[in-house]
Amino acid sequence: MKLYTKTAHELHDLLVRKEVSAIELVKTQAERMQALESKIRAFVTPTVDKALEQAARVDAKIAAGEAIGPLEGIPMAIKDNMCTDGVRTTCSSKILNKFVPPYDATVVTKLKEAGAVMMGKTNLDEFAMGSSTENSGFFATRNPWDTERVPGGSSGGSAASVAAGQAVFSLGSDTGGSIRQPAAFCGVVGLKPTYGAVSRFGLIAFASSLDQIGPFTRDVRDCAHVMNAIAGHDAKDSTSAPVDYPDYTSLLGKSIKGWRVGLPKEYFGDGMDPEVKEVIEKAVKTIESLGAEVAECSLPHTEYALPVYYLIAPAEASSNLARYDGVRYGYRSESADDLITMFKKTRAEGFGDEVKRRIMLGTYALSSGYYDAYYLKALKVRTLIKNDFDQAFEKFDCILSPTTPSVAFKFGDRTDNPLQMYLSDVFTLSVNLAGIPGLSINAGFAQGMPVGLQIIGKPFDEARLLQIAHAYEEATGCHSKMPDLGV
Amino acid sequence: MERDFDFEIVMGLEVHAELHTKSKIFCGCTTEFGGEQNTHVCPVCLGLPGVLPVLNRQVVDYAMKAGLALNCEIAEFSKFDRKNYFYPDLPKAYQISQYDLPIAKDGYIEIEAGGKKKRIGITRVHMEEDAGKLVHAGAANLAGADYSLADYNRTGVPLIEIVSEPDIRSIEEAIAYLEQMKAILEYTEVSDCKMEQGSLRCDANVSLRPWGQKEFGTKAELKNMNSFKALQRALEYEIERQAEILREGGKIVQETRMWDEAKGMTISLRSKEEAHDYRYFPDPDLVPIVISREWVDKVRQTLPELPQARRLRLVQSYGLPQYDADIIVGSKAMADYFDAACSAYGIAVAAGTEADSKGKERAKQISNYMMGELTRFLNATEKGFQDSPISLDNLVGLLRLLEEGTISTKIAKTVFEEMFATGKAAKTVVEEKGLVQISDEGAIAAVIREILAANPSVVADYKAGKEKAMGFLVGQAMKATKGKANPGLVNKLLKEELAKM
Ligand SMILES: [Zn+2]
């Protein structure tokens, strides 16, 4: 019985039936983790000892005959930009290398309450800026399907750990595609929820108005379980939505007959890898065969999403990252004689190139004299992009697109050309600008690499996105394939 | 300032007031002054990675209340912005403030300076968080310090910044403006206005222009004035500094200057060229504040009687002289004490009505004691009217003894001192010390006869028309009775006895 291939809901059944103990689960998972770390390098900080303690408590509960929740005793991993009480949280940056938060992010608190067991903190592009996890301040994570290729980013560690079977599920954060793109590259389920559906408290901010935490899982049902655990209003986050949250598993298995599905013509033009296009077209046919009506739709301001994103996200980042100044915590330059030099050197030595690039972009965009021309104008176009979606959703239940224009690329392929790298998020970032949910599932394979299908929905419509994704999964079984890592 | 000065002074003031909330603006930490360094802090106000601000609604209530008291329009839609700059006392490297959509704008206050009433426009009132403070070792400021430590207890304490129009034309007006502002903020109880603790601070924009010129002159911004004395001295210095430059044909440089209390001068902090670019933008961590008219009305209902209305009432209802009313209304605690004392003395009247002449007499007595003795003792013991050791009933008790003639004005002073020291009732003090005034004519007449018999030469002087002799005799009588004789009776009986001789 290969435990590491199983989903959370399958493992839950085994735990309940006492065919496996939580301790055993953590131990096999830890072995798998250890065995693959030299190949994959998904983890910045493993927390196996703590995980064993947590698992022991779950086993005691089972032994006492108490009922356990769907995530209780399930090994998980957390992207290292979410604060964990007493466990260092680095954002994969030299500048936060030794930062140990005295508090948990709300999602971490919620998962602890749900009984999930944390195996470790996963690698990311520094401060979540990047699309390949090559920009980590520590080391690059590799794609389990082909270790010559990137796992995507910025949540590359979280995606790779699930794909490689090092964790049953994980959390990532998505500012412009940082969950969906690595989910697509690694062939797992990745959901970027509606802005405000999951608390951002304790998520180390990149771009506050775009960031959203979401799950990586092996199948859609697990994704629904994790959403049940982490979604909800949080008084510690003013932008958290005080609405009624559904049971995300409630629509799984229900037919999608009669659904109106839109294909945005702007997403199916040039620039897409033909093999990727083929897989997506086949996936659309499958959806159609399940009873949905598919038609073309239009999102006319799509071409502006990339420039708008690269004004708004860096602007917010320049402000959010200003606090890393060497005064109170984290890295401080040793070679400064006065205050201003200390600020400058700390930041020059502590941040990597991509972070610096974006800080400079954002600082420029917010400077007096440029604010109106860049930032303010970007905010206005952002509204137009959101309106595009609102209009499309008047006619359609959801929108389908590829998650990425190509499959995972090779290391170094795009690092010399930041613009080329930015284009790998071109299908995902409109969704962040509009604040709506986007789900990526494995649609099939091209060149032996997974291809992601993106399903975009109305605000707070995650349960229905999971419904259609589940229907596709049932029909194709794509999700059950795992990479062969020889261990 | 008079016209004989070479230039017309143009000033606008920015007042920072700490709001009197229990907790900070974006977290639950206490706003209490002082405390061991860095004990009133949490991850949120320290801006640790990942934490988020959550707005304290009380801050909005208070800012709105201040705005209403300053006759401002309250915004229906307001938001918070980030003001970005690096400094070690600013944990997030930005201050959460308000930029283009402040909570209140377009108001005014009435001041009185040089006997003239004047309206000073209020441009805006906005909310913001305070920064921490640096403690420099071995020097007064960063330059020259061996090392500096950061104390973040103040970080996140809610402030309002009140910006005036450039309507102020003299130092006297500036002081009157700040006094009036302080009184309004105290009356509304949105701030305790303790200048010595920094809960009320003031910056000033100062420029000069030739009389008759329409355009403003180049201004300098003066920072860091935290007392009326500092404001007065800084403005005197700065106006003279600018006037001297202009008289010599020089040009004023637009810059920010700091008032250095120790040196007694303003010092340049930074010029316009190196002025900060704060890169304001809407704070994405906080949702916009939508203010319903119901909310505004609810806050409006909590507005108290403001100083101006109160001054008018004290003059109209109690017949107080303008001078008395100004002083009493100048402090809310004093005004509250006065109203309560009137009520305790049975002379409270509703607004718009007048006390009878007896009531007015009594009110004036209360005012006299408050402005004289009580203020003197309170100042000496550094107490405020709100914690006066003389209770309202005890003050009224004393005034009643005076009115009845049980004690003399002179004895009252002794009694008052004892009451202040012990908190005892006037009657108790009088009884314990045997200070009851002697109003028994027979007893006083007997004393007088003894004195006249003992001082024949003085009596002769009096008869010869020397008025001074009378004073000596009164003094002797008071001395013989240890000051307890009713002075009126002493005078009357002395004259009668002397007439008989
Ligand atoms: Zn706090």
pTM, two decimals, is 0.89
Q: Check residue B444 and report its DSSP letter.
A: H
**Confidence at B4, pLDDT banded by 50, 70, 90:** low
What residues of A are labeled active site? 79, 154, 178
pLDDT tops 80 at residue B141:
no
Q: How many A from CA of B30 to the centre of ligand 1?
A: 8
Q: Among all residues of chain A, which has the CA nearest to that of B95?
A: A319
Q: Which 3 state secondary structure label does DSSP give B389?
A: coil
pLDDT for the residue A1: 66
Structure-block tokens of residue B359 = 């009531």
Let me know: does A200 contact A208? Beta carbons within 8 Å.
yes
- Which residues does chain A have within 8 Å of residue B88's beta carbon, measured at their own beta carbons? 325, 327, 339
Q: Is B125 helix (H, G, I), strand (E, B) or coil?
A: strand
Domain architecture of chain A: domains with CATH: 3-258+397-480 (3.90.1300.10)
The residues near B356 (Cβ < 8 Å, ≥ 6 apart) are none
Nearest to B285 among A208, A318, A368 (CB): A208
DSSP three-state, residue B452: helix
* Residue A298: closest CA among A405, A438, A395, A377: A395
Structure tokens at A12: 């839950």
Residue B243: other Cβ atoms inside 10 A: 15
For ligand 1, the distance from its centroid to the CA atom of residue A65, given in whole angstroms, is 42
Closest CA to A155 of A172, A177, A130: A172
Q: Which two tokens stand for residue B275?
A: 């002025």
- What mean pLDDT is reported for chain B? 91
ipTM of the complex: 0.95
Calculate how far, in angstroms, residue B131's C-alpha sits from the geometric centre of ligand 1: 12
The 3-state DSSP class for residue B55 equals: coil
Q: Are B277 and A368 within 8 A, CB to CB?
A: yes
Q: If DSSP codes are grouped into helix, strand and coil, which group holds residue B220?
A: strand
Higher-confidence residue of B413 and A313: namely A313
Which residue is associated with the tokens 């599932």?
A441
Of the candidates B43, B91, B150, the beta carbon closest to that of A103 is on: B43
**pLDDT in the model for residue B356:** 92
Provide long-range contacts, Cβ within 8 A and 24+ apart, for A389-393: A389/A299, A389/A430, A389/A434, A389/A436, A389/A456, A392/A262, A392/A264, A392/A297, A392/A298, A392/A299, A393/A457, A393/A458
Q: Mutate which of B38, B133, B281 to disrupt the A interface (most A C-beta within 10 Å)?
A: B281
Q: B1: pLDDT confidence band, cut at 50, 70 and 90? A: very low
pLDDT tens digit string along A51-87?
999 999 999 999 999 999 999 999 999 999 999 999 9
Nearest chain B Cα to A367, which residue?
B279
3-state SS record for chain A: CCHHHCCHHHHHHHHHCCCCCHHHHHHHHHHHHHHHHHHHCCEEEECHHHHHHHHHHHHHHHHCCCCCCCCCCCEEEEECCECECCECCCCCCHHHCCCCCCCCCHHHHHHHHCCCEEEEEECCCHHHCCCCCCCCCCCCCCECCECCECCCCCCHHHHHHHHCCCCCEEEEEECCCCCHHHHHHHCCEEEECCCCCECCCCECCCCCCCCEEEEEECCHHHHHHHHHHHECCCCCCCCCCCCCCCCCCCCCCCCCCCCEEEEEHHHCCCCCCHHHHHHHHHHHHHHHHCCCEEEEECCCCHHHHHHHHHHHHHHHHHHHHHHCCCCCCCCCCCCCCCHHHHHHHHHHHHCCHHHHHHHHHHHHHHCCCCCHHHHHHHHHHHHHHHHHHHHHHHHCCEEEEECCCCCCCECCCCCCCHHHHHHHHCCCHHHHHHCCCEEEEEEEEECCEEEEEEEECCCCCHHHHHHHHHHHHHHHCHHHCCCCCCC
**Cα–chain center distance at A473:** 20
B482 φ/ψ sector (left φ>0, alpha ψ -120 to 50, else beta): left
- Lookup result for tokens 């704060």: B278
Please report residues of A whose CB lies closer than 8 A to that of B43: 101-103
Which residue is associated with the tokens 């007896």?
Answer: B358
- At residue B444, the pLDDT reads 83
Per-residue pLDDT at A196: 98
Output the CA torsion sign for A379, A385, A389, A392: positive
CB distance A319–B48 less than 8 Å?
Answer: no
Least confident of B35-39, B65-69, B273-277, B445-449: B273-277
Q: How far does CA B128 lie from the centroid of its chain?
A: 24
What's the burial of B442, exposed, middle or buried (CB within 10 Å: 0-12/13-18/19+)? exposed
Contact of B91 with chain A, judged by CB distance below 8 Å, is answered with: yes
- Please give, rounded to a whole number of angstroms, the shortest distance from the CA of A81 to a CA of chain B: 8
Q: Which residues of chain A have pLDDT under 50?
A: none
Q: Name the CA radius of gyration of chain A, rounded.
A: 21
Domains of chain B: 8-275 (no CATH), 305-433 (no CATH), 441-500 (1.10.10.410)
Quote the ligand 1 centre to A137 CA distance (angstroms).
31
Phi, psi dihedrals of residue A215, rounded to the nearest 5°: -90, 155
Q: H-helix or E-strand containing B221? A: strand B220-225
Tell me the two tokens of residue B424: 């005892």
Interface of A with B in 312-341 (CB under 8 A): 315-316, 318-319, 322-323, 325, 327-329, 339-340
Give me the helices (H) in B30-170, please: 57-69
**Does the pLDDT at position B2 exceed 60?**
no
Selecting from A83, A318, A363 the residue whose C-beta is nearest the C-beta of B50 gives A83
Pick B284's closest partner by Cβ from A102, A201, A208: A208
Question: B142: which chain A residues are within 8 Å (Cβ-Cβ)?
Answer: 339
Residue B237 to residue A432: CA distance in whole angstroms = 56
- Which of A80, A92, A327, A377 to probe the B interface (max B CBs under 10 A)? A327
Confidence of residue B496 (pLDDT cuts 50, 70, 90): confident
CA distance B180 to B20: 18
Residue B32 confidence (pLDDT): 94
